[in-house]
Amino acid sequence: MTPDIEKEAQEFKAGEFGAPSSGEEAWAERVIKQNQPNAESAEVPAQEREAEDGAKKEAAVQKETLASRIEAVREAKLARFESFGARDESGAVATIPADFSEAGTPVRPEFLHYPKPETLMYLEKGERIQFYKALIPKTKEGEVHPLVSKLPENTVYIRSEFFNREEIETRKMQAEDMRDYLNDNTLKELGLTRPEAEPEALPLAA
C-alpha cells in the first residue's frame, strides 16, 4: 500500500474532508488496519506453538510414567509366582529337545527368573547348543498378541533361534546362559547344574 493511500485514509477518518459517510469510514478503517503491523497475529502462532510443544512434552512424560507403572504392576504380579512355564509364539507349550534331557524325552522348561523380552539365551550340553530368545508375541500389525491375556501370568514366551555354524561362538558370547534362568527341577531333568558364580577379583598385592 502506498503512503498516499494510507494518508488519505487517515484524513478521511479524521474528518478533514468533512464528515465521512459510513462507507467511507469503513473503507478508511479497513485500509488503516491492513497497513498496520499485525503484531497480535504474529504472536498467536508463536503462542500456539509454545502451547503445542508444552502439551507434547506433558504427554510424553505421562506416557513414560504410565509405562513405568505398567511395568511395576507386571513385575509385582510375576513376583507372586515361584516358577514360570514356557510357551512359544503360538501359545503352545515350549519344550527343550530330547537330546538335552536325561530321559531322552523333550523337557518342558520352567523358569526361576523371568527374562526380559529380546534376551538371547543359550543352552549347552556336550557338543549340542541351542539358542532361545525371550519375547512377547506380537501380531502382524505389531500389537501384543491377544493370547497373552488368555494365558497364565506366569508364562515365559520363548522362540528357538538358529544360527550358521560360523556364527555360533560369536552369538554365544552375546547371549546369556539359560541355566541361570531355569529352575532346579528343569535343570535336573536336563542333567545340568547351575553355573557357578564367577569369583570376585581380588585386589592386587602391594
Instruction: Give the pLDDT band of residue 44 (cuts 50, 70, 90).
Output: low
Note the pLDDT of residue 153: 87
CA distances (Å), 19 to each of 5, 11, 13, 16, 163, in order? 18, 11, 8, 8, 93
User: For residue 134, what are the β-bridge partners?
Assistant: 158
Taking the C-alpha atoms of residue 135 and residue 145, their distance in angstroms, rounded to an integer, is 11
Give the global pTM. Answer: 0.60
What nine digits make up the cell of 121? 539365551
Taking the C-alpha atoms of residue 148 and residue 48, their distance in angstroms, rounded to an integer, is 42
Tell me the per-residue pLDDT of 9-43, one tens digit each, with 9 for 90 and over. Answer: 555 555 544 444 555 566 556 655 666 655 555 55
**How many Cα atoms sit within 13 Å of 11 on the Cβ side?**
9
For cell 522362540, name the residue: 159
Instruction: Give the pLDDT band of residue 198 (cuts 50, 70, 90).
Output: low
Taking the C-alpha atoms of residue 37 and residue 33, their distance in angstroms, rounded to an integer, is 8
Ordered DSSP codes for 34-50: HHS--HHHHHHHHHHHH
Instruction: Compute and round to an integer the Cα radius of gyration of the chain.
Output: 36
Tell me the per-residue pLDDT of 88-147, one tens digit each, with 9 for 90 and over. Answer: 999 999 999 999 998 999 999 999 989 999 999 999 998 899 999 999 999 889 999 998
